[in-house]
Amino acid sequence: MAAGGCRYQFRIALLGDAAVGKTSLLRRYVAGAPGTPEPEPEPEPAPTVGVEFYSRMLQLRAGPRVKLQLWDTAGHERFRCITRSFYRNVVGVLLVFDVTNRKSFEHICDWHQEVIATQGPDKVIFLLIGHKSDLRSTRCVSAQEAEELAASLGMAFMETSAKNNCNVDLAFNTIADSIQQALEQGDIKMEEDWGGVRLIHKTQVPRAPPRQQPPGPCQC
């Protein structure tokens, strides 16, 4: 269904190791949409199986209203062949690590490489996310080294917390603005057989009823 007044749909995936907080970040973002009732406190999220889908409308700074289709992928290795099949149709990726889990930070290059290997280097906008920034005492990845990694991979970096609702909207606004900018500058182009960016028409033209076939010669 066309979303009211929307021009584009952007597909964005969250990738990163198991338990870094991808589902929590996404749920926090989707629950924060204007007009959404205050959510009930959620039970602990279960590990994601394969890929789960969310969406939220967003008014971009540059003007257009977009629908973000958000794909929450399982971080566990055993789902990798399922999640990998989704990389081809995304225009944005949040690469998420947990600031208290050094291994999840060290694996960011592998996640990045997986997407590049599928999509090529020029079709995806990345944003590096250091998540669980509320856990100050157990942090083991500094903002500075994460910034350096992000710069070396040609992307921006941001820290978030689903628990404190810190920078959650900002992270999604930032990646959506960057996608919009890349589209305007022609760095990313819409293609028929690619689902990363889709044009959504404001009003759907009702389909013409099927044409009545003129009655053929009687077969009996």
Contacts with ligand GTP, residue ranges (CB under 6 A):
18-24, 44-45, 47-48, 74-76, 131-132, 134-135, 161-163
Q: Which is nearer to ligand GTP, 23 or 178 (CB)?
A: 23
Per the structure block, which two tokens stand in for 125? 């906008």
* Closest approach of ligand GTP to the CB of residue 46, in Å: 7
* Closest approach of ligand GTP to the CB of residue 122, in Å: 27
Q: Which is nearer to ligand GTP, 175 or 197 (CB)?
A: 175
Q: Which is nearer to ligand GTP, 101 or 180 (CB)?
A: 101
Q: Which is nearer to ligand GTP, 21 or 196 (CB)?
A: 21
* Closest approach of ligand GTP to the CB of residue 57, in Å: 23
* Closest approach of ligand GTP to the CB of residue 110, in Å: 15
